[in-house]
Amino acid sequence: MLRDITLGQYYPADSVIHKLDPRVKLFGTLIYIISLFCFRGAAAFATVTLFLIAVIWTSKVPFKFMVKGLKAIMILMLITAAFNLFMTPGETLVSFWIFKITKEGVVNAALMAVRLTYLILGTSIMTLTTTPNQLTDGLEKALMPLSKIGIPVHAIAMMMSIALRFIPILIEETDKIMKAQMARGADFESGNLLKKVKSMIPLLVPLFVSAFRRADDLAMAMEARCYHGGGGRTKMKPLRYEGRDRAAYLMIILYFAAVLLCRAYLNWP
């Protein structure tokens, strides 16, 4: 179950999306997220959907690879949907006991579910097509101006990329520890919530201990390879904008404009 989270896993393929400058992809993801939470109406919805499908298709990442990431947030999605379903005031459709379902509630719940799904799909395209190192490079370069006011941009970027690199390893490790504890009779499935949380302790303690040990080892390995912060570092893959990056920027802006226009003029229903 824990292996299903695809966030942070790079999927190697040879596509235009893979080759784009990470800054473009970061910008695109940001715009995409904003557009998700401000679109309204069928036309805007169609624009967003088309954009998403087009990007997924050009990325050459198998769709089922991304859907796997959705399973992990299923519960979050259900809870959000439930809250929207029961808590939105408005025209009552069904009511029983203290619950009542309103028309607005149904719409909101459906919208929220769609938004979350699109959010996960869209952001996982970024992580699936960009190596953590590229992502870090992109962030580092995009945020570099902040280092002038004393924010350690390079260090933050490095930490992020390492965290991303270790997600799959730690997940694998969690799986391993879980199986080891289960083999010795630990029960992670049954009992009420409190009991379940308590049963996580024998899972989390060894996981944390091993994560710290790994961190220590990794720090040493980095030092051994002459890592000494951002100063005097060169780049193997320096970021330079090319034609396709400018084209992508243009497309992202056009997309955003289209969503905004649909929101303003074609906001049926």
Partner 1 sequence: MGIIKAKQLVHEYIRRDEEGNVESISTALDHVDLDVNAGEFIAVLGHNGSGKSTLAKHINALLSPSEGTLWVDGKDVSEEENVLEVRQTAGMVFQNPDNQIIASVVEEDVGFGPENIGVPTDEIWKRVEESLGAVGMLKYRHHSPNKLSGGQKQRVAIAGVVAMQPKCIVLDEPTAMLDPNGRREVIRTAHELNREKGVTIILITHYMEEVVDADKVIVMDKGKVVMQGTPREIFSQVGRLKEYRLDVPQITILADLLRQSGLDVPVGVLRREELVEALLREAQITG
Residues that bind partner 1 (CB under 8 A): 10, 12, 131-133, 161-162, 164-165, 168-169, 214, 217-218, 220-228, 232-238
Strand pairing of 92-96 and 99-102? antiparallel
Pick the closer one to partner 1 by CB: 35 or 136.
Answer: 136
Quote the CA–CA distance of 217 and 225 in Å, as a whole number. Answer: 13
User: Using an 8 Å Cβ cutoff, are 171 and 179 in contact?
Assistant: no
Pick the closer one to partner 1 by CB: 93 or 155.
Answer: 155
Cβ 170 to partner 1 shortest distance, Å: 10
Please identify which residue in the block is written with the tokens 């630990």: 186
Pick the closer one to partner 1 by CB: 190 or 234.
Answer: 234
Cβ 269 to partner 1 shortest distance, Å: 44
Pick the closer one to partner 1 by CB: 100 or 214.
Answer: 214
Pick the closer one to partner 1 by CB: 175 or 187.
Answer: 175
Cβ 132 to partner 1 shortest distance, Å: 5
Quote the CA–CA distance of 40 and 263 in Å, as a whole number. Answer: 5
Find, among 242, 234, 237, the residue nearest to 24 by Cα.
242
Pick the closer one to partner 1 by CB: 72 or 162.
Answer: 162
Cβ 77 to partner 1 shortest distance, Å: 28
Pick the closer one to partner 1 by CB: 164 or 262.
Answer: 164
Cβ 150 to partner 1 shortest distance, Å: 23
**Mutual orientation of helices 22-38 and 103-129 as an angle, nearest 10°?**
180
Find, among 152, 151, 159, the residue nearest to 132 by Cα.
159
Quote the CA–CA distance of 82 and 104 in Å, as a whole number. Answer: 13
How far from each other are the two terminal CA atoms of the chain, in whole angstroms?
A: 39
- Residue 72 CB coordination number (10 Å): 16
Quote the CA–CA distance of 260 and 50 in Å, as a whole number. Answer: 15
Q: Which two tokens stand for residue 239?
A: 């970021």
Cβ 227 to partner 1 shortest distance, Å: 5
Cβ 87 to partner 1 shortest distance, Å: 41
Torsion from C-alpha of 139, 174, 1, 29, nearest 10 degrees: 0
